[in-house]
Amino acid sequence: MPNPTNVLAATGNGLIAIVKRDCPTCELAGPVLATLQQTGQVDVYSQDDPTFPEQVSKVIDDRELAASYNLDVEIVPTLIRVQNGKETDRTYGWDIAEWSRVAGESVGEGLPPIRPGCGAANVEPAALRMLKIRHGETGLKARSVALGGKEDDIEAAFARDWSDGLPVVPPTESRVLAMLEGTSRDSQEVLGIVPPNLDPCTVEKAAINAVMAGCKPEYFPVVLAALDATLDPAFNMHGVLATTMYVGPVFVVNGPIAQRIGMNGKHNALGQGNRANLTIGRAVQLIIRNVGGGKPGSIDRAALGNPGKLSYCFAEDEAGSFWRPLSTDFGFNEGDNTVTVFAGYGLQGVVDQKSRDPESLARSIAECLKAMNHPKLWPAADAILVVCPEHERTFKAAGWSKTDLMKRLMDLMTGPADALIQGEGGITEGLPESRRGTSASKFREGGLLIVRAGGGAGMFSGIITGWSASGDRGSLPVIKAIGN
């Protein structure tokens, strides 16, 4: 809490009034304050204009808002009774009875009995952040890095290896405090242990990296849930980093929050151009890098990597969908705000512009899925099938639910293993000889996820291929509820 001692001591005994010109109720109270100043001691502080109220002979300039902050003023006008340097009573807004009681005399004759006050300038978010910084009351614990007077902020981040290769937003105290306003969680709450260095990540450290990624405060609850999912042992972020495969976290957001913060699940949903999509995923990746130390060439051993390791995050397009959203597959209700993390890479196209019946389209999708990673690797990895709206309409017209499509795909991708044996077809890759005469399935049970996304025109769905160590062997998809 701010310390009001100095302001109260300066008054000693009497009244303190806090006003601002940009407040009709303060204008109404101006003549009353002038009368009180004539009959006794009242210190009038003006938040925005030291000449206001004009009727008052002496006004103390509080445009720096120090007195208002120290007195913890929330509404103007505020009237405070002071005795022996201590506050004994206060009222705010305009209420003749209350003002008369605090003032100790009848005031406001002829004025309306009650009028609401206005928000004080010192509680406006930007001003409050500035005041907390000035008074050393931010509550931030992270080490502050001072830059040289001629040092460029953007270049300094590159020089200190804080960047993912793109410019980052300098995480000033004001910006970090603004980001923390996006959540009700305590800034020093530990969210989890971040691999590979196994360092703890607080909400504050997450906020710093969310600022660097370019997030808005309203995105921050999604960042926190995405980080929570990523740090879940079942996802195995350390393994995702250490593998030489191309994988990284892929995030799918469900629920009303996606629309509320402006996420994209439609045209170019998996591409560029949407701030929320790109910065939420980037924030988590920066946390893994800057808090956990997961940098390319060290623990991050990806042989090729993929552009999605900068950020791979999108919303499922639930509006108008015939199918239940992905979140319901994990036991959540429609309308719940969730984020699912999946260890995946790239995007393999499913181009079928001619199928007009569900069986033909399902067979097309199955053939594309069979080629995932390698046509002879069964099972090879989990996958997310991203079904575009036009393809979904084909299934809708025939009454196929998502469950129906899933069942048919799994049937189509189960069969004799003989053609998949090492050496068959002149290809050394494949299953061991011991699998000859057995049956094989391209996916483990539960290894295929289906979501709906994409533009309304274009029969182009896609496959996000997962890590070869999917499932209990390495990484499972993890879903978390998005809180406040």
Same domain (yes/no): 230, 100: no
Separation of alpha carbons 307 and 299, rounded Å: 18
Residue 318 maps to a domain: yes
Residue 138 maps to a domain: no
Same domain (yes/no): 180, 110: no
Same domain (yes/no): 220, 88: no
Task: Please identify every stretch of the chain with a pLDDT value under 70, giving residue numbers as ranges.
Answer: 1-5
Separation of alpha carbons 282 and 308, rounded Å: 9
pLDDT of residue 5: 62
- b/e code 457-478 from CB counts within 10 Å (16+ = b): eebbbbbbbbbbbbbeebbbbb
Same domain (yes/no): 70, 218: no
CATH of residue 89: 3.40.30.10
- Give, in order, the Cα–Cα distances in Å from 21 to each of 28, 96, 426: 10, 20, 85
Residue 132 maps to a domain: no
Same domain (yes/no): 89, 195: no
Same domain (yes/no): 44, 174: no
Same domain (yes/no): 97, 199: no
Same domain (yes/no): 117, 251: no
Same domain (yes/no): 119, 163: no
Report the number of distinct structural domains present in the chain: 2
Same domain (yes/no): 251, 107: no
Structure tokens at 341: 């993390």
Residue 148 maps to a domain: no
pLDDT of residue 1: 44
Strand partners, 249: 343
Q: Please say which residue of 123, 142, 170 terminates a domain.
A: 123
pLDDT of residue 472: 86
Give the 3-state secondary structure of the chain: CCCCHHHHHHHCCEEEEEECCCCHHHHHHHHHHHHHHHHCCEEEEECCCCCCCCCCCCEEECCCCHHHHHCCCCEECEEEEEECCEEEEEEECEEHHHHHHHHCCCCCCCCCCEECCEECHHHCHHHHHHHHHHCCCCCCCCCCCCCCCCCCHHHHHHHCCCCCCCCCCCCCHHHHHHHHCCCCCCCCCEEEEECCCCEEEEHHHHHHHHHHHCCCHHHHHHHHHHHHHHCCCCCCHHHHHHCCCCCEEEEEEECHHHHHCCCCCCCCCCCCCCHHHHHHHHHHHHHHHHCCCCCECCCECCCCCCHHHCCCEEECCCCCCCCCCHHHHCCCCCCCCEEEEEEEEEEEEEECCCCCCHHHHHHHHHHHHHCCCCCCCCCCCCEEEEECHHHHHHHHHCCCCHHHHHHHHHHHCEEECHHHECCHHHCCCCECHHHCCCEEECCCCCCEEEEECCCCCCCEEEEEEECCCEHHHCECCEEEECCC
Residue 319 maps to a domain: yes
pLDDT of residue 222: 98
pLDDT of residue 148: 86
Predicted model pTM: 0.92
* Angle CA 94–97–101, to nearest 5: 105
Q: Please say which residue of 69, 102, 123 terminates a domain.
A: 123
Residue 162 maps to a domain: yes
Q: Please say which residue of 123, 145, 164 terminates a domain.
A: 123
Separation of alpha carbons 364 and 99, rounded Å: 78
Residue 134 maps to a domain: no
Separation of alpha carbons 363 and 120, rounded Å: 65
Same domain (yes/no): 206, 336: yes
Structure tokens at 327: 């979140």
- Give, in order, the Cα–Cα distances in Å from 344 to each of 129, 150, 464: 39, 42, 6
Same domain (yes/no): 25, 67: yes
User: In which domain, by residue range, is 102 found?
Assistant: 5-123
Residue 419 maps to a domain: yes
pLDDT of residue 183: 98
